[in-house]
Amino acid sequence: MLKKEDYDLLKVKPELTDEEKASIAEYEKAEAEKNKEHMIPKSRFDEVNNAKKDLEARLAAIEKAQKDSEEQRLIEANKYKELYEQAKAEAEGLKPKASIAEESEKVLQSVLESQINEIPEHFRTLVPEGLTTNQKLTWISLNKNVLMKEKGIDIGAGKQGGGSPDIASLTPEELAEAKKHGITAEEYAKFK
């Protein structure tokens, strides 16, 4: 089959062979078939056209129902306008309380930080994460005796000074302990 370019060249050629004439005729016939209008039977056209009209009518009914529904929703929304205004007024009244609550939270956060700083560093990871500030403070107060290192008895180690030790400050148990080990009360008081 001829291509369009070959057909155009053969059409302008002054003398054609029988083979070329046959090729041109074949090409023109194929082009005519391509360009032939596609005919639709009237019964099929009427069927499709009626279906289209039916769908358009249904679409119009749906759009009308949506429009009516939207109008009804807007009418009902006006009833809720009063409730909205009341809620807005109530929210305005709560704003001062919210700022007080925010300030209180900041104070509690600083108390929590100071409480955590009092805990030895190697125990700080034991404070549970994911708790509120109040819950953490409660947890620390309940567990502080476990987390904090108890302070030992002050025996005066490293104190400088002279004078005789104060025997009167010894308890009866300490006096008994000194006697048990065979040392005098002055010596025990000196080491105490």
119 closest CA partner among 145, 83, 158, 90? 145
Q: What is the pTM (predicted TM-score) of this model?
A: 0.35
Element containing residue 7 per DSSP (H, E): helix 4-12
Please give the pLDDT value at position 158.
Answer: 64
Largest Cα separation within the chain, whole Å, is: 150
Would you write out the chain's pLDDT as a tens digit for each of its 192 residues? 777 777 777 777 778 888 888 888 888 888 877 766 666 778 888 898 899 999 999 999 999 999 999 888 877 777 777 778 888 888 888 888 888 889 988 988 998 898 888 888 888 888 888 889 889 889 888 888 887 766 666 676 666 555 555 666 778 888 888 888 788 888 878 776
pLDDT single digits (tens) 74-87: 777 777 777 788 88
Residue 166: predicted pLDDT: 61
Collapsed DSSP state (helix, strand, coil) of residue 135: helix
Contact 169, 145 (CB under 8 A): no
Instruction: Report in angstroms the alpha-carbon separations of 143 from 116, 140, 180.
Output: 12, 5, 39
Q: How far apart are CA 15 and CA 21, in angstroms?
A: 10
Q: What was the pLDDT predicted at 181? A: 78
Tell me, what's the pLDDT at 156?
64
Task: Give the CA distances from residue 42 to residues 54, 56, 64, in Å, rounded to whole numbers and listed in that order.
Answer: 18, 21, 33
Residue-level pLDDT at 55:
93
* Separation CA 154–CA 181 (nearest Å): 21
Location of structure tokens 């002050």? 154
